[in-house]
Amino acid sequence: MSVAYETNVEEKEQEIEPRTASDSMVAVALFAKLDPIALAVGVGVASAIVVMAATLALLIEGAPPGEIVGYNLATIASYLPGFNVSVLGSLGGAFYGFLFGGLAGLFIAGLWNFTHIVVAGITMLRSDWLD
Amino acid sequence: MNKAVFNRGVALNTWALAITLAVGAGLALFFATVFSMIMHGSFAGGYLNLLAVFFPGYSVSPVGAFIGFFWAALFAGLSGAFVYQVYVRSLGEDTIKQVFYRRDAIDPPTRLTMKLSSRALGIAFGALMAIQLFLSTNWLVIRGTADESRHAALLAHYLPGYTVSVSGSFIGAFWLFIYSLVFATVVARIYNWLAGRR
């Protein structure tokens, strides 16, 4: 059991050493793909925090007498139905932030990977023609 | 390491991120314009029309949607190229270490998954946002509409000391750099945590 455990640990991650990296390893490392789900969650969570914090910051700051708190921020409700500058609205805003941020992350990773597949394909075709 | 291969890969990645962000931002503004027209008809574009200050010819209209696509794609494309160049320059040759590489992978592996350096991404994204705020604020100053720019002035709610002025652009750029650095760090940490487990 202990031998198997040690083997598994050894087989985990290692770093590529830039000084000794072969040409193919440099190319493969630079053409690494983005994980779409991980990027979607990363951008989604960060965006959710931004929208929530922006809303709560206005509530904490308040408004002068006779003025509505966060009047301008509230106008994004025309794009985000149900959003308003309130504690409950900040949760709704966080949901939208996660949704749109997640879609942005998914899109960026997807198009990044697609671009690399296209470039790799063209490069392979060219090298075939040259050969 | 072969520098020529490295530089070629960096150049291709710069184009890849530029194209990715250009298409994304172009489509986002295009559909935001169309959505605004559908939802609000002749009253559309109360706030979106303000983009005409930075995007000449843009308006919330059928033609404006295409002009907006062009400008948004151009600016986002340049931004993408800037972010990748700063990211790589921050890391240097260590850029090729930013992958999840397992000992048991076939040699050479065909496709690896990228790691994100939170430090390099934070610096690159922070610098981009700071420069954009600096330039857009000073553009308002140069065209002589700084005093009328009450929407830009609202940023003072989040960027303490910010005003639509030359000095305010430095203060705002500083705060936005900090916020963007934190934002990018959160993105990179969550991404690496999840991608490393998949």
Please state the domain extents for chain B. Answer: 1-97, 102-198
Residue B104 has its nearest CB partner, among A11, A20, A25, at A11
- Coil/strand/helix, residue A69: coil
pLDDT band at B154 (very low <50, low <70, confident <90, very high): confident
| Cβ neighbours for B47, distance < 8 A, ≥ 6 positions apart | A75, B151
Tell me the three state secondary structure of residue B114: strand
Identify whether A1 is part of a domain.
no
Is A56 within 8 Å of A111 (Cβ atoms)? no
What is the least distance, in Å, from the CA of A8 to any CA of chain B? 9
**How many angstroms separate the CA of residue B196 from the nearest CA in chain A?**
9
First to last CA, chain A: 50
A61 found inside a domain = yes
**Domain assignment of residue A48, given as a range:** 35-130
pLDDT at A5 over 60: no
In whole angstroms, what separates CA B2 from the centre of its chain? 30
Q: How many domains does chain A have?
A: 1
pLDDT at A92: 87
Per-residue pLDDT, averaged over A11-27, amounts to: 69
Q: For residue A17, tell me if it sits in a domain.
A: no
Q: DSSP for B53-106?
A: GTSTT--SSHHHHHHHHHHHHHHHHHHHHHHHHHHHHHHGGGGGG-EE-BTTS-
In this structure, of B25-34, B51-60, B66-75, B149-158, the range with the lowest mean pLDDT score is: B149-158
User: Chain A to chain B, count of Cβ pairs less than 8 Å apart?
Assistant: 148
Return the structure tokens found at B85: 């160049």
Q: Which positions 48-87 of B are in contact with A (Cβ < 8 Å)? A: none
pLDDT confidence of residue A23:
73
B45-92 pLDDT, tens digit each? 667 888 888 899 998 888 999 999 999 999 999 999 999 999 999 998
**Interchain CB distance below 8 Å, B112 and A41:** no
- Is residue A54 a part of any domain in this protein? yes
